[in-house]
Chains A and B, each alone.
Chain A
């Protein structure tokens, strides 16, 4: 079993890992010749299944195993991975390989970096810009040249990993929700998150004040969408009922080749025909939803699929990675709905 690669698009990779770190401490990574997948399945809360083309985040990679398509399954702690990627963000080059240290498999990051000195007198560029140094300050040029010769440092991070046997992986199932009723392109997640978080806080405080004790369960937000470009976010407790509505949202077209029946028979057409008052609604946990919305940092395009009263699936298409050759760079969130 061999795996060795250089990293690219580290900033995006790092953002993804930060986004999923809100949900779980461990991620399951599955790599093969073409794709790398990150899966997070918390005991409680939403699941993430992210798929990237190997090309999107790896460069000059080499992967080899006894399994078909050279598949390697690893389990690794997200915190250390996040830390390692953070060191790599400002690096000149970073590579990763699967190896062993003290008999324990590790993902070993090798990062070449320089420390930068923002307070240093601007290095050489500043000198050229001002057309030279003050003559009366003899030490100045010497100091600049000293800074300019800042050496490269090599950082190695070893992340302990567990290599998973194919049998263990076999039992893991990806959720498959009912055929959605409404699919809609989400408004900017930062907006949605700000309002969702506001609602969640409102509900927690109103619960506290009306009952005199903090309720143990997190507030439930009600999210609804119709097939007429509208998305509604609502919080209702004993003492308050607030809602926000977005409109003029886009509905992506379905690709007929993915269905074995005519598109006209799809749920969403039924919802569309029923007019703007036909809503598909899910109830989500306020805190969990906030963690899910953290994926907004990836700046992707987000399509939400609502299965009325059942589930919400978010597909986050990551543009930076698609541009980088990863046609299929999608982060999928499975958010379950509480019953009313």
Chain B
């Protein structure tokens, strides 16, 4: 008998896939943790700034669920799997011509482990046409790492429609890194985006390369269950937030946030029947926000060194099962009571669970952004032709204004783990990337084909007025030809009543 076995319906598989898809935005591996009453998927990103945990209730989400823990696994069973493999197993299968026969009816998943037993996760996919596909995945058993969140500390909270929030995020342009959620005015919560670069490129020459600065004011009435002090700021990573919202929107109607202050974690939760999603994001340290301060005319250049000093020790990699055990006992004893797992999270969470604004947003941002942008679909046909079909290069080329992307024209997919961890190298890269883009002025070029004369700008012979029929065009549109009760009006045909 396998330790854990469960069955997913077709719909359940879709939800499971969405959850995995969401987690995959943060990490490559997922920790599957099974208990009697629930199955959890959790992960923490490499920079340990974001923790995600999605719980599936045993009795409500699954068609069948059984947990037979023994010995070591009496309480719970956990293992690590690569998300990519899981994603392809649980991917939605759409049959040709929407042929229901080839769609999936259910999935049986089981996992077993122990002495003399092969450690495999087996997924059997039953299709309606009678085909059964069996996948066996290797997994690694090691302790789960969970982030902790102190409920009593997080006195600020609000709840809002996840759709509304996502639509608001659509208004932010590309190339932004941080989102400041603040209360400054009366009865208004502001969502303001900015990048760290904004503060550094103040010289005239680079002014035009600054990203769009956007702020959205939302009335407090729009939130439910809101409690925020006055003059309060909290700053989070935009990319993570967008990824979360994307999943939140398809999963649930409402999203709740609770947090305390800058540099302390923020928790975002939403749920649907049988599924509970929880994210813990590290918010940006106050000192690391020169941008925030410049707004008030104060600069603080010491923020980065402090960040560095607080960087986690190298051994402190996520997923290292020895994290807890290798720590001195004294420190382990200081572990907060609320830690969910035996792997302790140090009280000094700034170091354990450290965010720094990810230095280089992956170049694929453009792609993911487009998910959030109201696309004028009809507009597609007016896009310039691109004969070489190298869409990536073209698309990213179009983002040239964003210095973030400049260095990465040929690296469309930089996974999260490729982000440089040292914050010190980042500004340099950023600024050097901006250099090649010299400011441009309106200018004329000696273009071979404008050989004759150039009129001084805006005193040109107004050539466009030369057509007498300009006026006649207008008459054209008004002129209609009567034709047996039908008026032919250019391209339109109007029936006369």
Contact = CB atoms under 8 A, between A and B. Distances in A.
B474 interface: yes
A6 interface: no
6 contacts: A104-B202, A104-B210, A151-B219, A152-B219, A156-B215, A162-B207
Contact of A159 (B212, B219, B295): B212
Contacts of B467: 183, 252-255, 303, 315
B188 to A, nearest CB: 8
A204 B470 CA distance: 38
Contacts of A178: 452
Given A25-B401, A115-B164, A175 B454 contact: yes
A37 to B, nearest CB: 7
**Interface bracket on B:** 35 or more
B163 A169 contact: no
Interface string B159-171: 0010110011011
Contacts of B381: 190, 193-194
Contacts of A37: 458
Interface in A92-146: 101-106, 115-117, 119
Contacts of A259: 466
A33 interface: no
A102 B387 contact: no
A339 B202 CA distance: 44
A254 B452 contact: no
B173 A80 contact: yes
A287 B387 contact: yes
A322 B171 contact: no
Interface in B421-456: 439-445, 447-456
B290 to A, nearest CB: 12
A173 B473 contact: no
Interface in A17-64: 18-19, 22, 25-26, 28, 30, 37, 39, 41, 43-44, 51
Contact of A79 (B173, B207, B449): B173
A334 B208 contact: no
B163 A25 contact: no
Given A106-B213, A151-B219, A159-B212, A322 B474 contact: yes
A317 B463 CA distance: 13
A328 to B, nearest CB: 8
Nearest to B453: A176
Contact of B460 (A26, A176, A252, A322): A176
A300 to B, nearest CB: 11
A200 B444 CA distance: 28
A278 interface: no
A174 interface: yes
B181 interface: no
Nearest to B192: A156
A82 to B, nearest CB: 9
A332 B297 CA distance: 44
A212 interface: no
A24 to B, nearest CB: 8
Contacts of B379: 18, 297
Given A115-B163, A115-B167, A176 B454 contact: yes
